[in-house]
Structure 1
Amino acid sequence: MKVTTSIFTLLLISQITFAQTAAKKIDSIFRSIAIYNPEIAMSVGFVENGVTTFFNYGKISKESKQAVNENTIYEIGSITKLLTGNLLAQAHNEGKLKIDDFIDDYLPKEYVLSNEIKGKIKISDLASHQSGLPNFDFRKLMEINPKQPLDITKESVHALINENTKLIDYGSYRYSNISYTLMGMILEKVYAKSFEDILKEKMLLPLKMENTLTSNFNVKNKVTGYEFNGIPQDFFNWNYLIAPAGLVKSNTSDLTKLLKAILSNTGEISKATAIAETTFFKNTEREIGFGQQMERVADDVYFYKTGNTMGCATIFAYDKKTNWGMVILLNHNSPQLIGELMDAYYEQVFKKKAVSNNTKKMQL
């Protein structure tokens, strides 16, 4: 079962009435995972009906005795895309742009679309990964700089945009970092500010997300990230070109503030979220909004975004109908492992309880 489905299962069962509270049940699940994976640091923030609870397991590194807490910094990877999507939606609400505008007139002058693809790509196509533009060749970037493959150059972006004459799979889903690079450029043009400054002004300062870090992340209370094979991995450097796609660093304390803002249905961030929750792409496998993904269960819908760097794995999920949200940060590039462990724990513990509980209800 994929990780996101595991998270939804976890939160679904948290709504079933047992003797424990939802927070205690979540703690018991992750504590079990931590026991069998002591080398993995995990920080979890859970918001339910406006109440925030934090759970932390492990140390900031394999060599350290310092325990992680809700202020410990992790890479959040592509959860950054959710932030970028919200900023574009805010720009739409402010009249700076329209999300269904073509991107042609919003790009910096050095980026010129070929005649073959002018007037075809909308901003919403970028946000929902269906622009048809080529993506960065991550394998090649790894060969050039294995520890910092996202130190891309202007020239590499120029080559992908200016020299491209064909949208091979326009309208089909294909995960894309170049799309969010362009979204960052669009934000910078309409606000005449850097992406970093826009993020701080529109989101970090209003929500007092004081430990969500951009270009400067030289802090003591941060994890060491580990690749899937257990080798330490440096945090990705801040590169203004690729930053809107996945270079923000944060913690559960700050990200739960964002969750609460989204769930509050008040303020500019929540208003922008209404746009982000609109379906722009859907097939039998996935449903994509403006920077995030949806999963429907009966008459309910869960919104989520995952992130995965070379050293960290992250999940950000919420459900407005039942008013909960969760963020999970790991210092290990192994979201699959966490998903498998959560599935196993669910099968062994909660599925049996749920069946037993439903049987009792039927008997009544």
Structure 2
Amino acid sequence: MKIQTLLPLFFAPFVLNAQTKNIATDNRLITELDKMVQKEAMAYMQNPARVGISIGIIKDGKSYFYNYGTTEIRKSDLPTSKSLYEIASISKTFTGTLLAHALIDGKIKIDDDIRKYINGNYPNLEFEKHPVTIGNLTNHSSGLPQFLPDQSETFKKPMDSVAMALANFYKNYSKKKFDEDLHQAKIDFVPGTQYRYSNVGTQIAGDILENVYHKSYGELLSEYITKPLKMNQTIVGTNSAQLLTCYNDKGKVMPRNFTTIFAPAGGILSTTGDLVKYMQYHLNESDKYVNVSHTPLVKADEDGDAIGLYWRVHTYKDGTKTVYHTGGTFGFSSILQIYPSQNMGVVILSNESDGESQGKLYNIAENILRNSSKK
């Protein structure tokens, strides 16, 4: 499969052998699931760059939580199921869930030209008279760039400085400036014919939701998702004092995730305790909103990969499927993956990010899910 790119029962250091890194954990090592998680998490945490991870699992309606490492370098505080992490692009699945509500409520149609729902005149948001549709936004086929304004030159800088440069740039970046920059965006292929990952497209999806409901994105998030599911620690914002310190692979503290303008695309903060509730909800594909958000607009490719309303959907050769999304900022990495046929989901949140972390967290979730299916 291709990867397109939160109260410990007790605190006890666990040592694999003399050659391995000592890692604190609250894993009791009693059940087969405990042992499976231990094997996967310890292998991941042996990398000297790793700081802490929190793992949440929902299986047949029962929740399990495991934590490893520390909340902060040179400290011994173990993270918990209440530790607050940036979940980065997993935020897009919340936007997809809200779009499912808008579709079923008759507020929008999936094939609508997005200009029907955004303020201003945007003749540039089409290619050869083919407009960008809401569906194009959700499966990253709009042709819109990853960031506005274009940040390709910024990403040519040494990686250590990119995060700081972007954080400084977007610190005072306003919605008004985003709208101005959107007028300069160029679509260079027929929307719906090519894949191009776009945070901008998801930001626009958030704007559309606000415009059709006449409520802020944060209000919609609360009304339709976090309040009904009692996800009391899941919030939009960058200034929460509870947010963990985050690091790159060199142990350098990284800046927080820019500004609330990015909320629909990657600005939600959450915990494993809350995200287990979110996974439990999304395991119920008989729920009309869940079903719509998981349904791809186009047929899966030859590898079995497709995209619903931002959710990644992979169908295995045996016909079963997994629904997931990864997330990564310059200091946080994450994976949230559900396996409907097994009534199971896994979320892993980390306060360290590097070039391999998202993929390796995905592998941990995949191994836990697939191995559990064999039990």
Matched residue, 1:25: 36
Seen in structure 2, the aligned counterparts of structure 1 residues 230 and 192 have a Cα distance that, compared at 3 Å, is same
- AA aligned to 2:62 is V
Cα offset, 1:97, TM superposition: 1.3
How many residues end up aligned between the 2 structures?
334
**Alignment counterpart, residue 340 of structure 2, candidates 316, 320, 327:** 320
Give the Cα separation in 2 of the matches to 1:58 and 1:21: 21
Seen in structure 2, the aligned counterparts of structure 1 residues 105 and 329 have a Cα distance that, compared at 3 Å, is same
Is residue 202 from structure 1 mapped to residue 248 from structure 2 by the alignment? Answer: no
Cα offset, 1:24, TM superposition: 3.3
Give the Cα separation in 2 of the matches to 1:98 and 1:199: 20
Matched residue, 2:308: 289
Matched residue, 1:16: none
**Alignment counterpart, residue 330 of structure 2, candidates 297, 306, 310:** 310
TM-score (norm 2): 0.78
**Alignment counterpart, residue 297 of structure 2, candidates 268, 280, 287:** 280
Contact 2:323 2:339 (C-alpha < 8 Å) held by counterparts: yes
Contact 1:48 1:323 (C-alpha < 8 Å) held by counterparts: yes
Is residue 74 from structure 1 mapped to residue 85 from structure 2 by the alignment? Answer: yes
Give the Cα separation in 2 of the matches to 1:305 and 1:122: 22
Contact 2:49 2:251 (C-alpha < 8 Å) held by counterparts: no
Give the Cα separation in 2 of the matches to 1:55 and 1:331: 15
Unaligned runs of 5+ in 1: 5-18, 359-364
- AA aligned to 1:207 is L
Deviations 1:248-290 (A, max 9, x none): 1111000110001111346xxx422211211224434642221
**Alignment counterpart, residue 112 of structure 1, candidates 97, 115, 122:** 122
Seen in structure 2, the aligned counterparts of structure 1 residues 78 and 339 have a Cα distance that, compared at 3 Å, is closer
Seen in structure 2, the aligned counterparts of structure 1 residues 207 and 291 have a Cα distance that, compared at 3 Å, is same
Give the Cα separation in 2 of the matches to 1:126 and 1:343: 27
Contact 2:326 2:362 (C-alpha < 8 Å) held by counterparts: no
- AA aligned to 2:142 is S
Give the Cα separation in 2 of the matches to 1:287 and 1:204: 26
Give the Cα separation in 1 of the matches to 2:130 and 2:309: 20
Is residue 138 from structure 1 mapped to residue 159 from structure 2 by the alignment? Answer: no
Deviations 1:161-187 (A, max 9, x none): 323454335221110011001101100
Seen in structure 2, the aligned counterparts of structure 1 residues 2 and 162 have a Cα distance that, compared at 3 Å, is closer
Unaligned runs of 5+ in 2: 5-29, 155-161
Contact 1:277 1:290 (C-alpha < 8 Å) held by counterparts: yes
Cα offset, 1:104, TM superposition: 1.6
Is residue 58 from structure 1 mapped to residue 69 from structure 2 by the alignment? Answer: yes
Give the Cα separation in 1 of the matches to 2:213 and 2:282: 23
Which shifted more, 191-200 or 31-40? 31-40
Which shifted more, 99-108 or 300-309? 99-108
TM-score (norm 1): 0.80
Is residue 229 from structure 1 mapped to residue 250 from structure 2 by the alignment? Answer: yes
Give the Cα separation in 1 of the matches to 2:224 and 2:360: 37
Contact 1:111 1:161 (C-alpha < 8 Å) held by counterparts: no
- Report SS of the residue matched to 1:147: helix
Matched residue, 1:41: 52
Which shifted more, 124-133 or 282-291? 282-291
**Alignment counterpart, residue 258 of structure 1, candidates 256, 271, 278:** 278
- Report SS of the residue matched to 1:232: coil
Cα offset, 1:81, TM superposition: 0.3
- Report SS of the residue matched to 1:181: helix
- Report SS of the residue matched to 1:138: coil
Q: Percent identity?
A: 28
- Report SS of the residue matched to 1:70: coil
**Alignment counterpart, residue 178 of structure 1, candidates 180, 183, 200:** 200
Give the Cα separation in 1 of the matches to 2:35 and 2:169: 40
- Report SS of the residue matched to 1:311: coil
Matched residue, 1:239: 260
Deviations 1:81-132 (A, max 9, x none): 0000110111111111122222121012x35234854662211110100012
Contact 1:226 1:331 (C-alpha < 8 Å) held by counterparts: yes
